[in-house]
Amino acid sequence: MWSVVWAAVRSKAPYVTFPVAFVVGLVGYHLEWLLRGHPAPAAEEEKSISEQREDRKLQEIAGKDLTKVVSLKDK
């Protein structure tokens, strides 16, 4: 009897594998979600390195008087 079952499963393996894998994945996904609990609220995204650099440069510029520059004659 088992040999007939195994022969049928072997010949229909592609049709059996996907639903079994789908169910196992679905159960694992929900089990993990239950164990971890509800996701934390999304924190404010951190700025990228280039954005941090731009902000730092803007703060440096804001502290300077841009009208006072070295004369080209003095260079």
In-domain check, residue 6? yes
Total domain count for the chain?
1
In-domain check, residue 45? no
Predicted confidence at residue 71, as pLDDT, reads 83
In-domain check, residue 25? yes
Q: How many CA atoms lie within 13 A of 56 on its CB side?
A: 7
Are the beta carbons of 16 and 9 closer than 8 angstroms?
yes
In-domain check, residue 66? no
Domain span at residue 6 reads: 1-37
Phi, psi dihedral angles at 47 (to 5 degrees): -75, 150
In-domain check, residue 50? no
pLDDT tens string 6-30: 888 888 888 888 999 999 999 999 9
Q: How far is CA 33 from CA 8, 24, 25, in A?
A: 35, 14, 12
In the chain, count of helices (H) and strands (E)?
3, 0
- Does pTM surpass 0.75? no
pLDDT tens string 18-68: 999 999 999 999 999 899 887 776 666 778 889 889 999 999 888 888 788
